[in-house]
Amino acid sequence: MEEQPVLRMEGISKSFPGVRALEEVDLDLWKGEVLGLLGENGAGKSTLIKILAGTYSMDSGTISLEGTKAAITDPSSAKMLGIRVIYQELNTLDHLSVTENIFLGEMRRTRLGTIDWHRMNSRATEMLKSLGVDLDPRTLVGKLTAGQKQIVEIARAISGKSRIIVMDEPTASLGEKEEKVLFSIIASLKNQGIAIIYISHKLSEIFTVTDRVEVLRDGKLVGVRPTTDTDRGELVKMMVGRDLVEMYPKRPIPIGETVMEIKGFSSANEFQDISFSLRRGEIVGLFGLEGSGRTALIMSIFGAQLRDAGDLTIGGRRISASSPGQTKKCGLGLVPISRKEEGVTLSMSVANNIVMTNIEALGTSIFLDRAAERRKAATWIENLSIRTPSMDTEVDSLSGGNQQKVVLAKWLESGAKIFLMNEPTRGIDVGAKVEIYKLMESLCEAGGSVIMSSTELPEILSIPDRILVMAQGRLTAEFTREEADKEKLIHAASM
């Protein structure tokens, strides 16, 4: 290693009204290194990164770059020092081209003062090729996939001669193939000497891409480990203070009669001839690789996506032409893959979100019973342990795990008994995942049922009672939890 780290943060402390967000936190980052930054939501990761990015000012501590103290007073000064942050919520502008996004705010000009499109397009092409990507820089970003948009963000970061790049949950919206492209790009950036801070709740990624891991808990530094010298169990215990077995002892729940049947579900180019049943108190897992048709199937069951053929029976009643409104009346609730876009309304309060699917019960128009709304919201906030400053807080300010609880609360308020959950723990920390698992069990104990679609093998192997595997739009295997293992699932998902 070099004599001096490219970044040294020492004794960083930060408080907000009533909250000690960081307390004497240190962080070292070396040239060409990938450092994993772990911790539950609220551990202080975001605050530390926002201080590095110049969004927040620290109360105390120092930041040094290659041995020289740095004054980071705002985002512009951080960028001038070669520090770039790629946030989980991508900041690309869809109506502009790839080139325009890469050079946003830093347009190159000719001697005459006009924009030098030829020079910028050529430079954009060079940068994209250096990342191993063949992409026309004149393409509108709105036409790109989530993975391609992220590559544009990375190209924007390196266009400013960055020496430090922070990646915040970079695979949250990526498929398996796009993840592999990202990991290849990270390896390329390392070879160029760029240092990376990598934030992810997916521990499998931490072991794939990082050299060292730093763990925060409750605003304090818990420990730093070389990635090769630790394991999943130790990292979980460092993050939450106890191991996974202590956190989540799976408990048996009696399984009753059939509550829903799907027969011959088909949709052109999505899935074909899907049939299975769901029983009261049962959790059925749906596993498959990207493009297997899982999401399309979930949306079709809910009525949000049309199917070409197939029968849906709920509670013994055949639903002929299902729609979200109709399936809701039959007791179905959807926890979508993108909670921020489809699950909650971010600008609305916690209380408003909780009652929105059952708003008719509160009256009409200006005569809504606001007192009843607050009583209902308070009940679900307490029952689901939703951590929020108040029921009037906008959902956008909650952690991912608490946003997911709000999604569940709104369907419970609507009277849902069958829950369709698509990647229910995506983008939330280990502790919050366990809370979601326990809530799923509680739903089943209360007579509900769950279909859980997930690509996370540890999750799919331990939570469902039965596991259905999809590949290329077809069901290829079915296992009980006791029968399933990683090799069997991967084999069935690759057929």
The count of other CB atoms within 10 Å of the CB of residue 261 is 15
131-140, 221-230, 282-291, range with greatest mean pLDDT: 221-230
Per-residue pLDDT of 299-314, as tens digits, reads: 999 998 888 899 999 9
Say which DSSP state 394 is in: B
Per-residue pLDDT of 121-173, as tens digits, reads: 998 888 888 777 788 889 998 888 877 888 888 888 877 778 999 998 888 76
Do 7-243 and 258-493 share a fold? yes
C-alpha pair distances (Å), 443 with each of 176, 286, 419: 31, 18, 9
Q: Are the C-beta atoms of residues 436 and 256 closer than 8 Å to each other?
A: no
Strands (DSSP E) found in 227-300:
258-267, 271-279, 283-287
Name which CATH class applies to 258-493: alpha beta
| pLDDT, mean over the chain | 87
pLDDT classification of 495: cutoffs 50, 70, 90? low
Would you state the structure tokens that stand for residue 303, as one six-digit string? 């009525």
Distance of CA 273 to the CA centre of its chain: 30
- pLDDT of 178 reads 78
Torsion over CA: 431, 420, 449, 375 (sign): positive
Name which CATH class applies to 7-243: alpha beta
- pLDDT of 257 reads 96
Which of the two residues, 320 and 141, has the higher pLDDT score?
141
- pLDDT of 449 reads 96
Residues 6+ away with beta carbon under 8 Å from 330 = 314, 315, 317, 319
For the chain, the structural domain boundaries read 7-243, 258-493
Q: Return d(Cα 375, Cα 370) in angstroms, integer.
A: 9
Residue 88 clears pLDDT 60, i.e. is over it: yes
Per-residue pLDDT of 409-421, as tens digits, reads: 898 888 899 999 9
Would you state the structure tokens that stand for residue 201, as one six-digit string? 């709740």
Q: Return d(Cα 313, Cα 331) in angstroms, integer.
A: 12
- pLDDT of 363 reads 63
H helices present in 110-212, as ranges: 117-130, 146-159, 176-191, 203-209
pLDDT classification of 1: cutoffs 50, 70, 90? very low
Per-residue pLDDT of 333-374, as tens digits, reads: 999 887 777 888 888 899 989 988 777 767 665 677 778 888
Q: Return d(Cα 39, Cα 60) in angstroms, integer.
A: 21
Helix (H, G, I), strand (E, B) or coil at 319: strand
pLDDT classification of 290: cutoffs 50, 70, 90? confident
Q: Return d(Cα 267, Cα 272) in angstroms, integer.
A: 6
Residue 268 clears pLDDT 90, i.e. is over it: no
Altogether, the residues listed in the chain come to a count of 495
Mean per-residue pLDDT, 262-277: 93
Torsion over CA: 358, 362, 365, 370 (sign): negative
3-state secondary structure 88-111: CCCCCCCCCEHHHHHCCCCCCECC
Maximum separation of any 2 CA atoms in the chain, in Å? 77
- Nearest partner of 454 among 429, 435, 427, judged by Cα: 427
Residues 6+ away with beta carbon under 8 Å from 156 = 84, 101, 102, 103, 104
Residues 6+ away with beta carbon under 8 Å from 117 = 99
What pTM value is reported for the model? 0.63
